[in-house]
Amino acid sequence: MRIDRFLSNLPRFNRQQVRLLLAQRRIRIDGQAVSDPKAEVREFSHVQLDDEVLQAGKPARYFMLHKPMGCVSATRDPQHRTVLDLLDEPQPQDLHIAGRLDYNTTGLMLITNDGSWSRRLTQPQTKLPKIYYVETEQPIGPEYIETFARGLYFAFEDLTTLPAQLEILGPRSARLSIVEGRYHQVKRMFGHFNNKVLRLHRESMGPLTLDPSLAPGEYRPLSDSELSLI
Protein backbone atom coordinates (compact mmCIF):
# COMPACT_ATOMS: atom_id res chain seq x y z
CA MET A 1 0.00 0.00 0.00
CA ARG A 2 1.13 3.60 -0.61
CA ILE A 3 2.50 5.46 2.41
CA ASP A 4 -0.06 8.29 2.10
CA ARG A 5 -2.90 5.77 2.29
CA PHE A 6 -1.22 3.85 5.12
CA LEU A 7 -0.97 7.09 7.16
CA SER A 8 -4.48 8.32 6.30
CA ASN A 9 -5.88 4.99 7.49
CA LEU A 10 -4.54 5.72 10.97
CA PRO A 11 -7.28 7.49 12.97
CA ARG A 12 -4.94 10.22 14.13
CA PHE A 13 -3.99 11.81 10.77
CA ASN A 14 -6.11 13.57 8.18
CA ARG A 15 -4.97 13.96 4.58
CA GLN A 16 -3.53 17.43 5.11
CA GLN A 17 -1.45 16.24 8.08
CA VAL A 18 -0.22 13.30 6.00
CA ARG A 19 0.94 15.64 3.22
CA LEU A 20 2.73 17.80 5.77
CA LEU A 21 4.46 14.89 7.52
CA LEU A 22 5.76 13.65 4.19
CA ALA A 23 6.87 17.12 3.06
CA GLN A 24 8.73 17.50 6.36
CA ARG A 25 10.39 14.11 5.78
CA ARG A 26 9.36 12.98 9.28
CA ILE A 27 8.24 9.53 8.07
CA ARG A 28 10.79 6.75 7.69
CA ILE A 29 10.32 3.39 6.00
CA ASP A 30 12.96 0.85 6.97
CA GLY A 31 15.09 3.69 8.28
CA GLN A 32 14.87 5.83 5.11
CA ALA A 33 13.12 9.23 5.27
CA VAL A 34 10.43 9.41 2.58
CA SER A 35 8.58 12.32 1.00
CA ASP A 36 7.03 10.49 -1.96
CA PRO A 37 3.35 9.79 -1.18
CA LYS A 38 3.56 6.74 -3.49
CA ALA A 39 6.38 5.08 -1.49
CA GLU A 40 5.45 1.45 -0.85
CA VAL A 41 4.64 0.12 2.63
CA ARG A 42 4.58 -3.64 2.93
CA GLU A 43 3.53 -5.87 5.81
CA PHE A 44 7.29 -6.36 6.40
CA SER A 45 8.09 -2.61 6.45
CA HIS A 46 9.15 -0.83 9.60
CA VAL A 47 7.42 2.56 9.60
CA GLN A 48 8.30 5.42 11.93
CA LEU A 49 7.14 8.96 12.61
CA ASP A 50 10.22 10.66 14.07
CA ASP A 51 11.20 8.11 16.77
CA GLU A 52 7.75 6.61 17.18
CA VAL A 53 7.11 3.22 15.61
CA LEU A 54 3.85 3.20 13.62
CA GLN A 55 4.31 -0.35 12.31
CA ALA A 56 6.99 -2.75 13.51
CA GLY A 57 6.79 -4.90 10.38
CA LYS A 58 6.49 -8.67 10.31
CA PRO A 59 9.76 -10.52 9.76
CA ALA A 60 10.01 -11.74 6.18
CA ARG A 61 10.98 -15.44 6.12
CA TYR A 62 12.73 -17.34 3.33
CA PHE A 63 13.77 -21.01 3.41
CA MET A 64 15.32 -23.56 1.10
CA LEU A 65 14.11 -27.13 1.53
CA HIS A 66 15.39 -30.37 0.03
CA LYS A 67 12.06 -31.81 -1.03
CA PRO A 68 11.97 -35.58 -0.59
CA MET A 69 9.96 -38.00 -2.73
CA GLY A 70 6.42 -38.81 -1.66
CA CYS A 71 5.31 -35.45 -0.40
CA VAL A 72 3.03 -32.87 -1.97
CA SER A 73 3.86 -29.27 -2.76
CA ALA A 74 0.80 -27.90 -1.09
CA THR A 75 0.17 -26.07 2.11
CA ARG A 76 -2.54 -28.58 3.09
CA ASP A 77 -3.53 -32.02 1.86
CA PRO A 78 -6.11 -34.35 3.38
CA GLN A 79 -4.18 -37.53 2.47
CA HIS A 80 -0.49 -36.92 2.05
CA ARG A 81 2.37 -35.34 3.89
CA THR A 82 3.03 -31.80 2.59
CA VAL A 83 6.32 -29.94 2.33
CA LEU A 84 5.06 -27.55 5.02
CA ASP A 85 4.72 -30.52 7.42
CA LEU A 86 8.51 -30.81 7.19
CA LEU A 87 9.03 -27.33 8.64
CA ASP A 88 9.22 -26.71 12.35
CA GLU A 89 8.43 -22.99 12.26
CA PRO A 90 6.00 -20.65 14.02
CA GLN A 91 2.90 -19.53 12.05
CA PRO A 92 3.30 -22.15 9.30
CA GLN A 93 -0.06 -20.95 7.90
CA ASP A 94 1.73 -17.75 6.74
CA LEU A 95 4.17 -19.73 4.58
CA HIS A 96 3.76 -20.78 0.97
CA ILE A 97 5.77 -22.44 -1.78
CA ALA A 98 7.53 -20.52 -4.57
CA GLY A 99 7.45 -23.00 -7.48
CA ARG A 100 5.80 -26.36 -6.96
CA LEU A 101 7.26 -29.82 -7.63
CA ASP A 102 5.41 -33.05 -8.36
CA TYR A 103 4.82 -35.68 -5.67
CA ASN A 104 7.88 -37.74 -6.60
CA THR A 105 10.15 -34.91 -7.77
CA THR A 106 12.97 -34.09 -5.35
CA GLY A 107 15.24 -31.13 -4.87
CA LEU A 108 15.27 -27.40 -4.32
CA MET A 109 12.10 -25.86 -3.02
CA LEU A 110 11.78 -22.28 -1.82
CA ILE A 111 9.31 -21.42 0.93
CA THR A 112 8.42 -17.95 2.17
CA ASN A 113 5.79 -15.68 3.70
CA ASP A 114 6.64 -12.92 1.19
CA GLY A 115 4.07 -13.08 -1.61
CA SER A 116 5.61 -10.43 -3.84
CA TRP A 117 9.02 -12.16 -3.67
CA SER A 118 7.55 -15.55 -4.66
CA ARG A 119 5.41 -13.96 -7.43
CA ARG A 120 8.46 -12.25 -8.89
CA LEU A 121 10.38 -15.55 -8.82
CA THR A 122 7.70 -17.67 -10.43
CA GLN A 123 6.09 -15.39 -13.01
CA PRO A 124 7.14 -16.49 -16.51
CA GLN A 125 8.28 -12.94 -17.42
CA THR A 126 11.10 -13.22 -14.86
CA LYS A 127 12.56 -16.06 -16.98
CA LEU A 128 14.39 -17.52 -14.00
CA PRO A 129 16.23 -20.64 -15.20
CA LYS A 130 15.30 -23.79 -13.28
CA ILE A 131 17.78 -26.64 -13.65
CA TYR A 132 16.62 -30.25 -13.38
CA TYR A 133 18.52 -33.50 -13.34
CA VAL A 134 16.46 -36.06 -15.27
CA GLU A 135 16.60 -39.84 -15.64
CA THR A 136 14.42 -41.52 -18.25
CA GLU A 137 13.17 -44.97 -19.23
CA GLN A 138 14.43 -44.82 -22.85
CA PRO A 139 17.72 -43.49 -24.24
CA ILE A 140 17.86 -39.72 -24.79
CA GLY A 141 18.79 -38.88 -28.39
CA PRO A 142 20.73 -35.86 -29.67
CA GLU A 143 17.57 -34.71 -31.53
CA TYR A 144 16.04 -33.79 -28.15
CA ILE A 145 18.50 -30.88 -27.85
CA GLU A 146 17.23 -29.12 -30.97
CA THR A 147 13.55 -29.86 -30.23
CA PHE A 148 13.75 -28.50 -26.68
CA ALA A 149 15.70 -25.44 -27.87
CA ARG A 150 13.03 -24.70 -30.51
CA GLY A 151 10.18 -25.12 -28.01
CA LEU A 152 7.33 -27.61 -27.84
CA TYR A 153 3.67 -26.90 -28.51
CA PHE A 154 1.45 -27.60 -25.50
CA ALA A 155 -2.09 -27.92 -26.89
CA PHE A 156 -3.83 -27.68 -23.53
CA GLU A 157 -2.42 -24.21 -22.82
CA ASP A 158 -2.13 -23.35 -26.54
CA LEU A 159 1.44 -22.18 -26.17
CA THR A 160 4.94 -23.06 -27.27
CA THR A 161 7.44 -23.54 -24.49
CA LEU A 162 10.33 -21.08 -24.34
CA PRO A 163 13.75 -22.32 -25.51
CA ALA A 164 15.20 -24.88 -23.10
CA GLN A 165 18.78 -26.13 -22.89
CA LEU A 166 19.45 -29.84 -22.64
CA GLU A 167 22.82 -31.33 -21.71
CA ILE A 168 22.97 -35.08 -22.24
CA LEU A 169 24.93 -36.69 -19.41
CA GLY A 170 24.52 -40.38 -20.19
CA PRO A 171 22.31 -42.71 -22.26
CA ARG A 172 19.32 -42.10 -19.97
CA SER A 173 20.30 -39.04 -17.97
CA ALA A 174 20.41 -35.34 -18.71
CA ARG A 175 20.35 -31.87 -17.23
CA LEU A 176 17.59 -29.57 -18.45
CA SER A 177 17.29 -25.82 -17.97
CA ILE A 178 13.84 -24.27 -18.40
CA VAL A 179 12.65 -20.73 -17.69
CA GLU A 180 8.97 -21.50 -17.18
CA GLY A 181 7.15 -23.73 -14.75
CA ARG A 182 4.24 -25.15 -16.77
CA TYR A 183 2.22 -28.02 -15.34
CA HIS A 184 4.36 -31.22 -15.47
CA GLN A 185 6.55 -29.35 -17.94
CA VAL A 186 9.63 -31.57 -17.89
CA LYS A 187 7.64 -34.82 -18.04
CA ARG A 188 5.59 -33.49 -20.94
CA MET A 189 8.71 -32.39 -22.83
CA PHE A 190 10.21 -35.89 -22.59
CA GLY A 191 6.72 -37.28 -23.20
CA HIS A 192 6.90 -35.72 -26.67
CA PHE A 193 9.40 -38.51 -27.44
CA ASN A 194 7.32 -41.08 -25.53
CA ASN A 195 10.11 -41.21 -23.02
CA LYS A 196 8.98 -41.56 -19.43
CA VAL A 197 10.78 -39.56 -16.74
CA LEU A 198 11.76 -41.93 -13.93
CA ARG A 199 13.65 -39.49 -11.74
CA LEU A 200 13.42 -35.72 -11.55
CA HIS A 201 15.45 -33.53 -9.23
CA ARG A 202 15.58 -29.70 -9.19
CA GLU A 203 19.15 -28.57 -8.63
CA SER A 204 18.72 -24.80 -8.81
CA MET A 205 16.41 -21.87 -9.35
CA GLY A 206 18.24 -18.89 -10.83
CA PRO A 207 21.27 -18.14 -8.65
CA LEU A 208 20.05 -20.38 -5.78
CA THR A 209 21.45 -23.89 -5.71
CA LEU A 210 20.31 -26.65 -3.39
CA ASP A 211 22.71 -26.77 -0.44
CA PRO A 212 24.45 -30.19 -0.71
CA SER A 213 24.55 -30.46 3.09
CA LEU A 214 20.73 -30.66 3.22
CA ALA A 215 19.49 -34.27 3.23
CA PRO A 216 16.04 -34.94 1.72
CA GLY A 217 13.47 -33.44 4.09
CA GLU A 218 15.90 -30.94 5.64
CA TYR A 219 15.72 -27.18 5.28
CA ARG A 220 17.42 -23.98 6.35
CA PRO A 221 16.80 -20.22 6.09
CA LEU A 222 18.26 -18.47 3.06
CA SER A 223 21.35 -16.46 3.96
CA ASP A 224 21.56 -12.68 3.42
CA SER A 225 24.02 -13.24 0.59
CA GLU A 226 21.62 -15.69 -1.13
CA LEU A 227 18.76 -13.21 -0.72
CA SER A 228 20.81 -10.42 -2.23
CA LEU A 229 21.23 -12.54 -5.40
CA ILE A 230 17.56 -12.78 -6.18
Interaction site with ligand URA (CB under 6 A): 101-102, 105, 184-187, 200
Q: CB nearer to ligand URA: give 43 or 102.
A: 102
Helix (H) or strand (E) holding 213: none
Q: Smallest distance, Å, CB 146 to ligand URA?
A: 20
Q: Smallest distance, Å, CB 142 to ligand URA?
A: 22
Q: Smallest distance, Å, CB 196 to ligand URA?
A: 11
Q: Judge whether 26 and 20 are in contact, CB under 8 Å.
A: no
Q: How many Cβ atoms sit within 10 Å of the Cβ of residue 23?
A: 10
Q: Smallest distance, Å, CB 230 to ligand URA?
A: 19
- Rounded (5°) CA angle 52-55-57: 130
- Is 102 considered catalytic here? yes
- Rounded (5°) CA angle 84-89-92: 50
What is the rounded CA–CA span in Å between residue 94 and residue 100?
A: 17
* H-only helix segments in 15-136: 15-23, 115-122
Q: Which of 77, 85, 94, 102 is catalytic?
A: 102
Q: Judge whether 113 and 95 are in contact, CB under 8 Å.
A: yes
Q: CB nearer to ligand URA: give 45 or 105.
A: 105
Best CA proximity match to 222, nearest among 96, 43, 62: 62
Report the Cα 164 to chain-centroid distance in Å: 19
Q: Smallest distance, Å, CB 73 to ligand URA?
A: 8
Q: Judge whether 152 and 102 are in contact, CB under 8 Å.
A: no
- Rounded (5°) CA angle 215-218-224: 110
Q: CB nearer to ligand URA: give 39 or 198.
A: 198
Dihedral sign, CA of 123, 128, 133, 134? Answer: positive
Q: CB nearer to ligand URA: give 29 or 186.
A: 186
Q: CB nearer to ligand URA: give 28 or 201.
A: 201
User: Catalytic amino acids?
Assistant: 102
